[in-house]
């Protein structure tokens, strides 16, 4: 199946970046849909900001910037976003019921041959597929933050995902300039978050238990394990709410040993979610 038009549902932290990559690198026509105009405006503002940075670095020209923006059509109308879309990428918040509700609506409106994917970072693909009449045309397509820069896409099979669907998404990932890994068996956290989130959670326990200060934990892991940034800073980039959501899935679906650190729950309750809110484990207000 050839993909010409992509619909991205959600213009937030991940959605706007996915839309940009689809339009900039893969040169797809993109329908970008959200539920409020302010969300769409913010998403488009972030895309323009990102493109300006590429422009300043000489990666793209002024003409290409205009062409990329011309390929992205923001809309509040789901039916308009899905019209003629060959590939749909759901990128709404990490909540299973919300995602299933959106996917069920998409299933009614999308053309029969369209492939539907979810950018979920932890929720069962088989569970999400239960909202669809065509589970064979559904899979996980997990981008990493920020999608404009991170090279990996995890492609996750559900129990009934077809080979054709997986192969098509592998081709789409290549066209987007990404490296793809296929997760052969639907499991919580997939590959990256199955390894990463317990590590981030354990780093928070070190802070919670007073074993080391924030900066020393970051320095130890950055220099000792050669991470590009420490776990505390990475938590702020990922989002503490997203990390908590994944940890809760791992705890529920796999083992109680994945129990989220109390500090993580406290910070999410306090709205200290990281870079996106201006404060988390670090203060980002000056950057914002």
* Residues annotated as part of the active site: 121, 142, 154, 193
Q: Residue 277 has what DSSP assignment? A: G
Q: What three-state secondary structure class fits 89? A: strand
**CB of 114 closer than 8 Å to CB of 140:** no
**CB of 37 closer than 8 Å to CB of 77:** no
CA 148, CA 1: separation in Å to the nearest integer?
Answer: 25
Pinpoint the alpha helices (H) of the chain: 15-24, 37-56, 62-70, 78-82, 96-109, 125-129, 163-175, 192-208, 214-224, 231-238, 240-253, 262-269
């Amino acid at each position: 199946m050839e993909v010409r038009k992509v619909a991205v549902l959600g213009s937030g932290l991940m959605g706007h970046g996915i839309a940009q990559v689809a339009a900039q690198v893969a040169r797809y026509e993109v329908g970008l849909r959200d539920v409020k105009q302010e969300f769409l405006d913010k998403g488009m503002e972030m895309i323009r900001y990102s493109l300006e940075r590429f422009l300043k670095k000489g990666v793209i020209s002024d003409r290409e910037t205009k062409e990329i923006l011309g390929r992205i059509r923001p809309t509040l109308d789901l039916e308009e976003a899905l019209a003629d879309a060959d590939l749909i990428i759901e990128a709404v918040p990490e909540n299973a019921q919300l995602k299933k509700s959106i996917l069920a609506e998409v299933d009614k409106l999308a053309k029969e041959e369209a492939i539907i994917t979810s950018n979920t970072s932890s929720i069962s693909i088989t569970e999400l597929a239960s909202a669809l009449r065509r589970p064979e045309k559904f899979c996980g397509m997990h981008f990493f933050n920020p999608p404009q820069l991170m090279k990996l896409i995890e492609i996750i099979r559900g129990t009934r995902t077809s080979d054709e669907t997986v192969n098509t998404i592998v081709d789409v990932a290549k066209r987007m300039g990404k490296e793809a890994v296929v997760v052969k068996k639907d499991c919580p956290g997939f590959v990256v978050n199955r390894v990463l989130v317990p590590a981030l959670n354990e780093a928070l326990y070190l802070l919670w238990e007073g074993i080391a200060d924030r900066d020393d934990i970051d320095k130890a892991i950055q220099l000792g394990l050669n991470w590009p940034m420490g776990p505390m800073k990475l938590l702020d980039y990922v989002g503490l709410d997203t990390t908590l959501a994944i940890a809760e899935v791992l705890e529920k679906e796999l083992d109680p040993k994945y129990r989220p650190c109390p500090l993580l729950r406290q910070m999410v309750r306090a709205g200290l979610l990281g870079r996106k809110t201006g404060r988390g484990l670090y203060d980002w207000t000056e950057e914002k």
